[in-house]
């Protein structure tokens, strides 16, 4: 049961981090503007992996992982 709670906690942390960067990305300068070499044609938020990284940190804290290989 604790693992399921941890999975949902990490999912919602990464979802909240990605949402926050999409929502506030332009204000904090995290937008990627398209140019000739871009594969996108409109402004896209970059750095949404920060939410995933924070979920990994929370999971490693609860699972008592002290180092990564």
pLDDT-derived band of residue 69, with 50, 70 and 90 as boundaries? low
pLDDT score for 67: 67
Q: Is the pLDDT of residue 68 over 80?
A: no
CA nearest 57: which of 69, 67, 42?
Answer: 67
Q: Is the pLDDT of residue 51 over 80?
A: no
In this predicted model, what pLDDT tens digit does every residue of 9-49 receive, in sequence order?
Answer: 888 888 888 888 888 877 888 888 888 888 888 888 777 67
Mean pLDDT of 2-15: 82
CA nearest 48: which of 21, 9, 16?
Answer: 21
Q: Is the pLDDT of residue 5 over 60?
A: yes
């Amino acid at each position: 049961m604790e693992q399921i709670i941890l999975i949902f906690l990490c999912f919602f942390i990464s979802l909240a981090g990605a949402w926050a960067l999409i929502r506030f990305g332009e204000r904090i300068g995290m937008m990627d503007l398209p140019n000739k070499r871009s594969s996108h044609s409109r402004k896209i938020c970059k750095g949404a992996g920060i939410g995933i990284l924070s979920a990994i940190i929370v999971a490693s804290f609860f699972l008592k992982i002290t180092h990564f290989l």
